[in-house]
Structures are given as structure tokens and as C-alpha cells.
Chain A
Amino acid sequence: MYLDHAATTPMLPEAARVLAEQLVRTGNPSSLHGSGRAARRVVEEARERLAAALGARPSEVVWTSGGTEADNLAIKGMFWSRRNQDGRRRRLLVSAVEHHAVLDPAFWMAEHAGAELVLLPVDGDGMVDVDALREELERSGDQVALVSVMWANNEVGTIQPLDDVVALARRYGVPVHADAVQAVGQVPVDFAASGLDAMTVSGHKVGGPGGAGALLARRGLDLTPVLHGGGQERGVRSGTLDAALLSSFGLAVEQAVGSRAEFAARVGTLRDTLVEGVEALVPEAVLRGPRDPSRRLPANAHFTFPGCEGDSLLYLLDSAGIEASTGSACQAGVPRPSHVLLAMGVDEVAARGALRFSLGHPSTAADVDALLAALPGVVDRARAAGLATVGTVT
């Protein structure tokens, strides 16, 4: 039973078929001969598909190797461009609950590139504090290089108030980037309508292949290149394009967006059953993230289980055949309390007992039933194990 679709989800059958079909073809999309032209056509059709599905122009799509690279390009490329235009613009406003692919480049820029990093606080549901952003912009709007706030949070599923963020930033002429890796295919995502300047998309989270992603960059947005080389992708992102990967990626996004409404309704119902079941069977479990379904990704459920450690819960579920996640990154395999939960005001001890369940296109009611059947015993046992590790020291 796979309940970790936010980590990665199986490829859509059509996307897998296209990938296999294209993999055996030869041709560098940058070559001028027939094979190259054929490959180029595949890449450009994929670009048009992806752009159309996400409300962008084809020329606004910059292919990358994945979400992490797109986030790095956005943070570093936008920061450097903005600061080169005006040396005062050194402030980097980033929500405290961003994925590490945004947070870590931001910390790196603060350490190595003279950025002044401002972490925007969030409320108890993980929703970014718009008033804090307003104060920050009022105080030093002319010194802000960019704002980066994710479309939806990967751990607790919170959908961020991007309209407010964009409206505020626009008032100060500050560009906004959003990591929309988790949002695409779950909530309506329209790049043009959003008013965003840049947006990150990933292939393998929507039923496409791993190793493919894109940064949508508004026309006219100045992006300093991070990868230098053959000058592909408007010179912003060099590197030979992989026609097979990108055609599969483009198709997956098109399909995920096309079936989004039906998918969201279906998994949303499953998720609600899951949440109700967990709360009925394990009353002390605490739902993290918004309870209001309109403010939360439909495929996401996240709990902390008091007295339990996430790794014990994971092991016990795994041995019961259920695959879930603590939702947060490891350091050398060591589970660390989630920065998202800590930013939401959850204390470190409670944060250790976190579990994320995320649904995907193959999910069924049987998956949820299996989880609910196993969970009470798992939680009891994990709690006992938690007690075992806090014995007295002699």
C-alpha cells in the first residue's frame, strides 16, 4: 500500500509509453540535420503542451533537470539579476516552510553571495503571514531582490495565499517565485493568471519521469544563468535537451492538469475518510495543516502522534506493508524534526512523531482501509518504543 505519492508517484501509462517510444530515437534537438530537427519538434511540442496546461507561453518554459534545479535557478538567477540592476536589492524574502530546494539556495546565497535572508513566518496551519510580508516590504521594499513563497506545502499541504503575496509584491515592483511542484495536478494552476514571475514544476510528482522539470519564467524576467555551456534555453540553462524525457514530462503535465478536477474530488474524498478514520481510531493524533479542505491539497494528510517517533511509526507501517513518510528531509538518514512543523510552532518533541500520508492516481479506498486497520496497533507499539528510549540513566 503506497501512501507516499508526494515523494514520487507512478508514471501515467501514456507518459511511460511515450518515454519508451522516444528513448530509442536519435537526434540532438540542437542539431540542424533531419534527426536533430525531428528531436527538436518533439521537444517543442512538449513545451507547447506544458505551457498550455499551465497557462504559460511556450517561450516562458525553461527546461531543467527537475524541481531542485528550477528552484536554484529562480533563487540565484533572479537574485543576481535584480542586484546587478540595483546594488541595494539584497534582501531575499522566503517563507519559513519552503522546501529545502528553495531554503538551502537561499541560505547559500546569504552565506556566499551577500544576500540578506528574511524568513517569512507562518501561522499554526503553515500559512505564510501576509502582514509580515507587508511590513517587510513597507520597511525595505526597495531593497528586496525577490520573494519566494511556495504554491502549496509538501509536508502539511497548506495552500499559500499567493494572490495576496503577488499583489503586495507588485506594489513594490518585487518579482515573486513560487515552487508549484506539489500544486500541479491537485489545484488549478494558471501561471499567467497568478501574476507570478517565475514558477517551478517537476515531472515525477505528476506522473511524469524523474530528472525532468521546468522553471516558468515570465517574458521579460531577467534571469542570470546558473548553468553555462551550449546556450540552450535562451542561454539561461545550457545542456543538451532530452527529447524523450521532455515529451513524456509534457504529456504527463497535460494529463494531470486535464484530469485534475476529477482527481482532486476523488482523492479529496479518500483523504477525508483517512483523516476521519485516524481521528476516530487514534483520538490523540493531531492533524497538522489546515482542516479547511479549500486551503489544503486534496491528496495530503499529515498528523503528529504524541509519544511516538516518526521512524518507529515508519518501520512498523512498513512491516505491515504500508509505505508512508515523516514528510521531512533526513540528514544522513537521521530523521530531524521538520522545519515546517517547527515554523508552525510545533515543539521539537511533538514534531518527532510526524507522519505524512499522500495519495495519488492509483490510490483506492482499499489503501485507506489497510492503513486504518494497521494504524492503532502501530501507534500503540511506537508509543511503547518511545517510552523505552527515555528510561532512567544510571
Chain B
Amino acid sequence: MRVLAALSGGVDSAVAAARAVDAGHDVVGVHMALSRSRDQFRTGSRGCCSIEDAGDARRAADVLGIPYYVWDLSERFEETVVADFVAEYEAGRTPNPCVRCNEHIKFATLLDKAVALGFDAVCTGHYARIETGPDGTRELHRARDLAKDQSYVLAVMGPERLARSMFPLGDVASKEETRAEAAARGLSVSAKPDSYDICFVADGDTQGFLRSRLGSQPGEIVDGSGAVLGQHDGAYAFTVGQRKGLSIGRPAPDGKPRYVLSVEPVHNRVVVGSVDELAVQAVEADRAVWFADADDGTFACAVQVRAHGDAVPARASVRDGAVQIALDIPGALRGVAPGQSAVLYDDTRVLGQATVTAALRSPGATSGLVR
């Protein structure tokens, strides 16, 4: 097959490309340039958008003996990922830019351009497995190394794009194995640190980044009864479940820490309460993407709402593209915010993905439905 290997400049994508070469594919490496003014993005080896990373990607391609190109997708990245990230926070929701990037850049713009240029598949260093089901359908599964599993951020791509994807690292036992393989192959990125933060937030300061885009919007921090507890500089900078950075002088009557329960952009208000009030018993989601049959109905599954969170048992009810997800154990999830991605699993298999529109609080929680 003709395979386009997306090379971030990190160790995972380099080893994935090497494995694709070993498998006998005709591989071409492409580094996506996602920022116009590159110093806007982080420098150093922490992310995936620096000049060093482009150089590391090129070096890896040279070691593998494959052609290397840089594709400038910065305009599209700004439109579909960065601007959306800002708009979602402004609307009081909690976006996942990596999910958005997979949905609109990696497995959309990049994949579409690759297919148009005659490639059969795009290969990335994501940790996830692609299996063929009994009826021949392609299934997305969790990686063998559950600690590195990235099926959560990939679930948004849907089956057609999965059919054109290749994740050669799905069956590695651990990241150490990947690093050892990189070293054995003579790839200089073998010891490069992992990236964790959002690539376009240069210093990891998301609040500062949002403030630079949205400006200062002072407002009130209130409790469930509406009593004003403090001030903030912009409700957009808060996310449900957040504990730090509230700067409320007065302690809670019971002495327990306060958490953000909801963000109300219309009133520019942040509502806080106790950790118990974050407990969720059901989640509503829409814009569903299914790998399995998506007939209306109810089925048992496990739901995961964060990239590094646990999946908890639930029953999902589908109607007209919207999903109601009732947790088997109320309170098994805490602090679920609109905008988050809810991924439904059957054991290791991804069934589908939808975007959270509301979280129904557990009985005892005072503020009820969070939208």
C-alpha cells in the first residue's frame, strides 16, 4: 500500500512509520506545520509544533530512508481547532482540542489530501488497535498498553476514516518498548520526552492563552444559593470540576474545598460547590459517531469522558442521533462538563462517540442539570 506516515517529530510516530516500512508499504513521511508564526507555539521538545520537532521528523524520515514533506495546515488548524477551542470555552463548555484535531485535521484534511494524492492510508503513532470483526467490519479497540491507550481521542473519526488508518503501535506492551525499538533502529528521538499539554498553548497556561484571546471579563463566583463568594476575570477560564485558581477568600462553612460546578457564560458567572455536588448519574450527548450499528435502542456499555479517565458501566439509549447515558452506579463520574467527548466501549471495542451536552447530577447534588 501507499502509506502516508504523519511524523510529529516524536518517538511514537517515528516508530510507527518504521513499522509501516518494515511491513513492506511504500511510505512517505509528512510533518504537519500547524502554526504560521512558529514561536507562537512552544519551543523545546515538549510538544509537537516546534522547529526542533520538524527537524526531528525530517531526521527520522532520513534514517528510515523515506521521502519527507512538510504540509502547511496552519490556516485550517487555526480555523477548526484553535478558534473552536476558544469559542467553546467562551460558551462555558470544555473542549478537547486533540479530539477536534483528529476529527478535522489528521483524519480529515490530512487524510483527504493524502487520498487525493494517491495514498491508501494514513499511519500515525497513536496507541490503539484496529481489528476486523466477525462480519468483516473494521473495529477500533483500546491499545494493548492500557496506560497509553488513545482510542478515546480517535473515536471521533468514525468507520470510513478508520478504514484508511493505520496504528502500528496498537500492540506494543509499553512506551518503553517503543523507546527501545526507536533506539535499536537508530532513531535519535528515542529518548525525547512525551508531550502532554495542548500544543498551541505555548507554556501550558491555558487560562493565560484564553485571556489573551478573549480579554478580561470580570464577573462573580457564586454558590448554589446565588451568594457571591468572589470575583473572576472571565468565566471562560473555568471548567467544571476545577478546584485550583478560584481565589475565594472565605472558606466553605463545612471547611471542605470548593469546586466549579458550572460555568454560566450568559451571566458571566461561575457556580461553585462541594465535591459531592460534582457527582453525575447520567449524561446527555449528541453529534454521535458510531462504529457499531446505530439503531435507536438501549444497550449496555462502558462510558469514558476524559482521555485519561476510567470507563464506567452504563446503559446508553439512542434516539435520533442523541444519546442518553445512565450510569449503573450513580456518582461513578464526577465533574462532567458540556463539550467533553463521551466514548462508549464494549470491553476494549469502541462503539461510538458523542459530545456531552448536559450532565445530570446525582440525587443530593443541589444544582441538578448542568447544560
- Do they bind each other? yes
Chain A interface residues toward B at CB < 8 A: 311-312, 314-316, 318-319, 330-335, 381-382, 384-385, 387-389, 391, 393-394
When C-beta atoms are compared, the residue in chain B nearest to A385 turns out to be B116
- Of the candidates B54, B68, B76, B117, which one forms a contact with A332 in the assembled complex, judged by CB atoms under 8 Å apart? B54
Do A388 and B109 touch across chains, with their CB atoms under 8 A apart?
yes
- Of the candidates A315, A331, A333, which one forms a contact with B117 in the assembled complex, judged by CB atoms under 8 Å apart? A315
Q: List residues of chain A with CB within 8 A of the CB of B72.
A: 311, 334-335
Q: List residues of chain A with CB within 8 A of the CB of B117.
A: 312, 315-316, 381-382, 385
Do A332 and B33 touch across chains, with their CB atoms under 8 A apart?
yes
Say whether, besides A318-B67, A385-B117, A391 and B54 are in contact (CB < 8 Å).
no
User: Shortest distance in angstroms between B177's beta carbon and chain A's nearest beta carbon?
Assistant: 30
Q: List residues of chain B with CB within 8 A of the CB of A312.
A: 113, 117
When C-beta atoms are compared, the residue in chain B nearest to A315 turns out to be B69
When C-beta atoms are compared, the residue in chain B nearest to A312 turns out to be B117
- In the bound assembly, the distance between CA atoms of A391 and B69 in angstroms comes to 21
20 A–B pairs (Cβ distance < 8 Å), ordered by A? A316-B117, A316-B118, A319-B67, A330-B70, A332-B38, A332-B70, A333-B58, A333-B68, A334-B33, A335-B72, A381-B116, A381-B118, A382-B117, A387-B116, A388-B109, A388-B113, A389-B73, A389-B112, A393-B104, A394-B104
When C-beta atoms are compared, the residue in chain A nearest to B115 turns out to be A388
Do A332 and B51 touch across chains, with their CB atoms under 8 A apart?
yes
Taking A316-B118, A332-B54, A389-B73 as given, write out 14 further A-B residue pairs in contact, using a Cβ cutoff of 8 Å, ordered by the A residue number.
A311-B70, A312-B113, A318-B67, A319-B67, A332-B70, A333-B31, A333-B58, A333-B69, A335-B72, A381-B117, A384-B116, A388-B113, A389-B113, A393-B79
User: Shortest distance in angstroms between B82's beta carbon and chain A's nearest beta carbon?
Assistant: 12
When C-beta atoms are compared, the residue in chain A nearest to B117 turns out to be A385
Q: Which residues of B11-52 are within 8 A (CB) of A?
A: 28, 31, 33, 38, 51
User: Shortest distance in angstroms between B341's beta carbon and chain A's nearest beta carbon?
Assistant: 15
Q: Which of B69, B70, B117, B118 has the most CB of A within 10 A?
A: B117
5 closest Cβ pairs, A-B complex: A333-B70, A385-B116, A388-B112, A384-B116, A388-B116
Q: Which of B28, B76, B116 has the most CB of A within 10 A?
A: B116
- In the bound assembly, the distance between CA atoms of A319 and B76 in angstroms comes to 26
Q: List residues of chain A with CB within 8 A of the CB of B68.
A: 333
Say whether, besides A332-B54, A333-B70, A335-B72, A385 and B113 are in contact (CB < 8 Å).
yes
- In the bound assembly, the distance between CA atoms of A312 and B33 in angstroms comes to 15
Q: How many A-B residue pairs have CB under 8 A?
A: 64
Range for the number of chain B residues in contact with chain A: 20 to 34
Q: List residues of chain A with CB within 8 A of the CB of B51.
A: 332
Q: List residues of chain A with CB within 8 A of the CB of B31.
A: 333
User: Shortest distance in angstroms between A4's beta carbon and chain B's nearest beta carbon?
Assistant: 15
Q: List residues of chain B with CB within 8 A of the CB of A331.
A: 38
When C-beta atoms are compared, the residue in chain B nearest to A331 turns out to be B38
Q: List residues of chain B with CB within 8 A of the CB of A381.
A: 116-118
Say whether, besides A381-B117, A389-B76, A315 and B109 are in contact (CB < 8 Å).
no
Do B109 and A391 touch across chains, with their CB atoms under 8 A apart?
yes
Q: Which of B55, B70, B113 has the most CB of A within 10 A?
A: B113
Do B104 and A311 touch across chains, with their CB atoms under 8 A apart?
no
User: Shortest distance in angstroms between A33's beta carbon and chain B's nearest beta carbon?
Assistant: 43
Say whether, besides A385-B117, A388-B113, A311 and B69 are in contact (CB < 8 Å).
yes
Q: What are the interface flags for B57-92 relative to A under an 8 Å C-beta threshold, 1 for contact and 0 otherwise?
A: 010000000011111110010011000000000000
Q: List residues of chain B with CB within 8 A of the CB of A335.
A: 70, 72
When C-beta atoms are compared, the residue in chain B nearest to A390 turns out to be B76
When C-beta atoms are compared, the residue in chain A nearest to B110 turns out to be A389
Do B55 and A332 touch across chains, with their CB atoms under 8 A apart?
yes
- Of the candidates B54, B69, B112, B115, which one forms a contact with A314 in the assembled complex, judged by CB atoms under 8 Å apart? B69
Q: List residues of chain A with CB within 8 A of the CB of B71.
A: 311
- In the bound assembly, the distance between CA atoms of A312 and B110 in angstroms comes to 12
- In the bound assembly, the distance between CA atoms of A335 and B71 in angstroms comes to 8
Do B112 and A391 touch across chains, with their CB atoms under 8 A apart?
yes
Do A393 and B69 touch across chains, with their CB atoms under 8 A apart?
no
